[in-house]
Structure 1
Amino acid sequence: MEVFLIRLLQFMLAISLLVLLHEGGHFFFSKLFGVRVEKFFLFFDPWFHIFQFKPKNSDTTYGIGWLPLGGYCKISGMIDESFDTEQMKQPAQKWEFRSKPAWQRLLIMIGGVLVNFLLALFIYSMVLFYWGDSYIKVQDMTMGMKFNTEAKEIGFRDGDVLIGTDEKEFKKFDVDLFRNIADAKSVTVKRNGKTVVVNLPEDMSLLKMVKADPAFLRPIIPADVDSVMPNMAAAKAGIKKGDRIVAFNGKAINSWCDFDDQIAVLRDVLTAKAKTTADSLKVRTATVAYKSKANGKVDTTQVVLSPELQLGLSKSSLVKYYKPVTTEYGFFESFPAGVKYGLDVLRGYVDDLKYVFSADGAKSLGGFGAIGSLFPPVWDWMLFWKMTAFLSIILAFMNILPIPALDGGHVLFLIYEMVTGRAPSEKFLLYAEYIGFGILILLMFVANLNDVLRWLGIMS
């Protein structure tokens, strides 16, 4: 529950900030060009609102809605998600959106996207300035990687140290490493002190690699215990910080990868066969062998895992075994570095969109639950800001897509007007808004339904 609340708080804080600044972009350009903004709301407020106020001598009502699906800035004289057709039946006023030149309306519509994109670049710059760029070089991971069955069929072997592809060297262990493998023809590894080239098939898929269970590849990390949680299975069994897990249910454990694989086996059994409380208890009762750091002896004990199959310990991390490389940036140096970082993130995100149009890609769509799970389980300001910047880039890109009801749809119609000199009819714009809004609701329904199905274990 604590992890859920921490992630929920981070998600709500990030989304609130991004929505406020996005709508603030529309608000800024509207005020700049003398367009009246009737409402400025964080979250939607169908039927009722949590809070609202209207400053004296102001045309704008500010407030907070109850439906946390975004926010809106209701601009006078425009067809938007409010579907206010009555206002459009009245004669146009000089302070309305529809009365302004097309170039001003265009700036008003791209204001939100512009703010989100610039915000992401600014956040990345400040993260690099404050924390620097710290990572462990993949080539320095001398214990190598653990590969799944599909990777071994291609030619990889457990313990291979990744060097690079035929196009570039690997830098850090992140999604870009998988992306580089998916786009490459071959991967160079160091195996038993020798350099080996693994030729890749043409149908390598980033989506399949990141969704594979067990993972396509994982860093090998010794199964050393970093800390033990009180009153849970590990603590009751006498396992202490620094001890090493060497076997689980009779299976040898050489790394945390092996341990995770054994837990995955139990999870499948629990899902398939544990119909009663007694069944669940039987599955969760396991035998653990661990080597004591204090005396070097191996002890074997029986434990009862939590209903979530947790042993109640924290695993050792890569930084215990490898020294990170840190690149520090001065204040002015951080901006070009932050811009490059942000553009690389955007480039990778756009490149990955091709997978959305496949059957597996549609299943991989995630809603609010999936987004929330991307935040760290503990409060980490660096990871929070990096995740916020990533969401800001996604919000900017998705909003500029030429779909009616999104900013990009309005931009498309405005460009058409500027090129042809003729504006689409209000009736056309209204129907386009209905269609676009319907598409968005459908996509949101599918994405959040996927979250529910994954939570129920019906879909992986």
Structure 2
Amino acid sequence: MDILIKAGQLLLSLSILVILHEFGHFFFAKLFKTRVEKFYLFFDPWFSLFKVKKGDTEYGIGWLPLGGYVKISGMIDESMDKEAMKEEPKSYEFRSKPAYQRLLIMIGGVLVNFLLAFFIFWMTLYKWGDSYIDVADAKFGLTYHELAHDIGLQDGDVVTSVDTLKVKSASDIAKFILLEEAQQLSVKRGDSTFTVAIPSDFKTTILKEEVKGLAAIRMPFVVDSVIAGDYAEKAGFKKGDKVISIDGQDAEYYRQVTNILGENKEKRVTFNIIRNGQTESLRCEVSKKGKIGVGAKVDYFDITEVRYGFWEAMPAGVSKSVNTLIDYVKQLKLVFTKEGAKQIGGFGAIGGLFPATWNWEAFWGLTGFLSIILAFMNILPIPALDGGHVLFLLYEIISGRKPSDKFLEYAQTVGMILLLGLLLFANGNDLFRLFK
């Protein structure tokens, strides 16, 4: 069921993004009286699931969910309609329009995706605001991955800044280390403050080990709810039980408990708990997912909430859009390393970003994020992408010479091969991680 919910959110999100992206091309094409032969959600090699023709345009849904397209008359695109290009140009064709009009048609999709991301962030900030647990309010400190322990951090420490960048939430630590050329951490331990040097190869090690969470808020593991009929109820767990150890290993805090349970899937373990001031032992089975069927108490901290009025949320939405784009661009340099290339993911990785339960706040936040990615990736100067067409159009505007149709055909073919290779590589990584 979890997979179906994630897949459903991914499919809806991508459908919204693709339809609006293609509408951007469609809008400018119609504005400049350019004929659009097809407007499709998903690709339709050999057959389509649905189609209807209105005016000159066939609207439809394909069966191959790898994107979508608009087929514009007189344009060399993924359809590779070479026969049509041999005929004399017609007034309604793309190739007959002035260069500036063709340029606006090509950037229409990217423009819509950027505007969509801004609008989504504006509306989500207005509706839900922003909330996080400030590390300054983490009364039990933070808990760290073993790699962080190796450079001198201890569970309970609080990293207050990375170089001169102030840390607000625990997730900032890994982000600043990976995206900035950080040299040291400022750390608070008890009443003392000191610095920890970041090794030059630390960023590479994080990527190589595929660390998902370098730091997290530390909190005691206290049972808040017990799922009826699950292993925990059968073992005798009750609300208010505080875990202190599992099979003799210290497990007072949430991350310790989840790590130990993850190492003992489909096994029976012994919990030492404190109940009403008394220590008791409970034997409990662990599911194949590393769960026992309890919900842990999480309301230990003051949550920093930022609320926005309707108009206040607008500049905040712009800022979030710009910062999201900047962070994404900074991440690209990691892709060109051996370790970073292994992190590239396809549809499985993207689907894994969505929560296992339907959550509109998370859904729209991720859709805004994906809209930024789709816009940026499409504007890259790669043949077969919008950015490739834009590159050739800019060359034409500057030089006054239009690239030949034969050159554009070859460029389109090379670009499609590159994109297909990247698609196979990214989804191959997903399969490798799945079987691994």
TM class by smaller structure: over 0.9
Which piece of structure 1 moves more, 406-415 or 243-252?
243-252
For 2:6, the equivalent position in structure 1 comes to 7
Equivalent residue of 1:17, what SS?
helix
**Are 1:181 and 2:177 counterparts?**
yes
Judge conservation of contact 1:225–1:316 (CA < 8 Å) in 2: yes
CA distance in 2, matches of 1:211, 1:90: 56
Q: 1:147 aligns with which of 113, 136, 144?
A: 144
**1:157 and 1:306, CA in 2 relative to 1: closer, same or farther beyond 3 A?**
closer
Alpha-carbon shift at residue 223 of structure 1 (Å): 1.0
Alpha-carbon shift at residue 214 of structure 1 (Å): 7.9
**Are 1:93 and 2:110 counterparts?**
no
Spell out, residue by residue over 1:347-380, the C-alpha distance to the aligned partner (whole angstroms, 9 max, x if none).
1110011111111111111111110010112122
**1:341 and 1:398, CA in 2 relative to 1: closer, same or farther beyond 3 A?**
same
Equivalent residue of 1:163, what SS?
strand
Spell out, residue by residue over 1:430-452, the C-alpha distance to the aligned partner (whole angstroms, 9 max, x if none).
11111111111111111111111
CA distance in 2, matches of 1:324, 1:358: 37
Alpha-carbon shift at residue 210 of structure 1 (Å): 9.4
Q: 1:300 aligns with which of 271, 277, 281?
A: 281
Q: 1:110 aligns with which of 93, 107, 112?
A: 107
- The 5 Å alignment of 1:274-289 reads 284-289=267-272
- The 5 Å alignment of 1:140-289 reads 140-174=137-171, 176-182=172-178, 183=180, 184-205=182-203, 208=206, 212-213=210-211, 215-266=213-264, 284-289=267-272
Spell out, residue by residue over 1:28-69, the C-alpha distance to the aligned partner (whole angstroms, 9 max, x if none).
0000000000010111111111111112xx100101111111
Q: 1:446 aligns with which of 410, 425, 430?
A: 425
CA distance in 2, matches of 1:10, 1:307: 25
For 1:271, the equivalent position in structure 2 comes to none
Equivalent residue of 1:331, what SS?
coil
Judge conservation of contact 1:135–1:325 (CA < 8 Å) in 2: yes
Identity %: 49
For 1:126, the equivalent position in structure 2 comes to 123
Letter in 2 for 1:408: G
Letter in 1 for 2:331: D
Equivalent residue of 2:174, what SS?
helix
Q: Structure 1 runs of 4+ off > 6 angstroms?
A: none
For 1:36, the equivalent position in structure 2 comes to 35
Q: Provide structure 2 residue ranges, at least 5 long, that are not aligned to the other structure.
A: none
CA distance in 1, matches of 2:120, 2:238: 40
**Are 1:428 and 2:407 counterparts?**
yes
CA distance in 2, matches of 1:125, 1:324: 21
CA distance in 2, matches of 1:38, 1:214: 45
For 2:273, the equivalent position in structure 1 comes to 290
CA distance in 2, matches of 1:33, 1:14: 29
**1:386 and 1:215, CA in 2 relative to 1: closer, same or farther beyond 3 A?**
closer
Judge conservation of contact 2:207–2:340 (CA < 8 Å) in 1: no
**1:445 and 1:315, CA in 2 relative to 1: closer, same or farther beyond 3 A?**
farther
Compute the RMSD of aligned alpha carbons.
Answer: 1.8
CA distance in 1, matches of 2:121, 2:254: 32
Equivalent residue of 2:403, what SS?
coil
**Are 1:380 and 2:377 counterparts?**
no
Letter in 2 for 1:170: V
CA distance in 2, matches of 1:31, 1:229: 57
Letter in 2 for 1:208: I
For 1:278, the equivalent position in structure 2 comes to none
CA distance in 1, matches of 2:259, 2:210: 12
CA distance in 2, matches of 1:87, 1:315: 64
Alpha-carbon shift at residue 328 of structure 1 (Å): 1.4
For 1:276, the equivalent position in structure 2 comes to none
Q: Provide structure 1 residue ranges, at least 5 long, that are not aligned to the other structure.
A: 268-282
Alpha-carbon shift at residue 324 of structure 1 (Å): 1.1
Equivalent residue of 2:90, what SS?
coil
For 1:275, the equivalent position in structure 2 comes to none
CA distance in 1, matches of 2:196, 2:327: 24
Judge conservation of contact 2:142–2:170 (CA < 8 Å) in 1: no
CA distance in 2, matches of 1:214, 1:128: 26
Q: TM-score, normalised by structure 1?
A: 0.90
Alpha-carbon shift at residue 387 of structure 1 (Å): 0.4
Judge conservation of contact 2:262–2:289 (CA < 8 Å) in 1: no
**Are 1:456 and 2:412 counterparts?**
no
CA distance in 1, matches of 2:267, 2:222: 22
CA distance in 2, matches of 1:438, 1:305: 47
Alpha-carbon shift at residue 189 of structure 1 (Å): 1.7
CA distance in 1, matches of 2:125, 2:218: 28
Judge conservation of contact 1:239–1:290 (CA < 8 Å) in 2: no
Alpha-carbon shift at residue 308 of structure 1 (Å): 2.4
Alpha-carbon shift at residue 186 of structure 1 (Å): 1.8
Spell out, residue by residue over 1:155-180, the C-alpha distance to the aligned partner (whole angstroms, 9 max, x if none).
22221112112312112233x43222
Equivalent residue of 2:342, what SS?
helix
Letter in 1 for 2:274: K
For 1:277, the equivalent position in structure 2 comes to none
Equivalent residue of 2:305, what SS?
strand
Q: TM-score, normalised by structure 2?
A: 0.95
CA distance in 2, matches of 1:9, 1:39: 26
Alpha-carbon shift at residue 204 of structure 1 (Å): 3.6
Judge conservation of contact 1:41–1:64 (CA < 8 Å) in 2: yes
